[in-house]
């Protein structure tokens, strides 16, 4: 029974849609290009560049953890995309200057990424 509970927990919370009202997925998608995220990560709807330094984010919305350590939840992710080193010391991901709105938009985009 405990093993089954562990399997359910791996999938993360059932609803990871950001609850921040004005998040815009399409702006978030544009921001991952504008802010340079595509230089290190691959995204399903970005054909070039397709960075390989960081992990693929093609199904990020289904992942239970951010950077293998933090719960994949909107508030946590918004902090992580802005200042990953403050959240996970020693990470190779740099702090990325962005506004609160930009962080909400990037979060909304990342959390909707699902395998096709």
Global confidence as pTM: 0.78
Q: Looking at residue 107, what is its pLDDT?
A: 94
Is the domain 23-111 a CATH 2.60.120.620 member? Answer: no
pLDDT single digits (tens) 40-96? 888 887 777 766 777 888 888 888 889 989 999 998 999 999 999 999 999 999 999
In this predicted structure, what is the pLDDT of residue 11? Answer: 46
Q: Express each pLDDT in 8-25 by its tens digit.
A: 444 444 444 445 578 889
Kindly list the domain boundaries of the chain, sorted by start residue: 23-111
pLDDT at 106 over 90: yes
Tell me the C-alpha to C-alpha distance, in Å, between residue 71 and each of 12, 13, 36, 48, 63: 8, 9, 24, 29, 9
């Amino acid at each position: 029974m405990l093993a089954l509970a562990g399997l359910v927990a791996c999938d993360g919370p059932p609803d990871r849609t950001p609850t921040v009202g004005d998040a815009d997925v399409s702006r978030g998608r544009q921001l991952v290009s504008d802010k340079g995220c595509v230089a290190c990560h691959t995204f399903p709807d970005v054909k070039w560049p397709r960075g390989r330094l960081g992990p693929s984010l093609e199904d990020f919305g289904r992942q239970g953890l951010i950077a293998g350590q933090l719960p994949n939840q909107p508030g946590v992710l918004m902090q992580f995309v802005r200042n990953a080193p403050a959240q996970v010391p020693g990470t190779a991901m740099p702090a990325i200057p962005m506004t609160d709105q930009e962080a909400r938009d990037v979060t909304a985009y990342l959390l909707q990424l699902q395998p096709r």
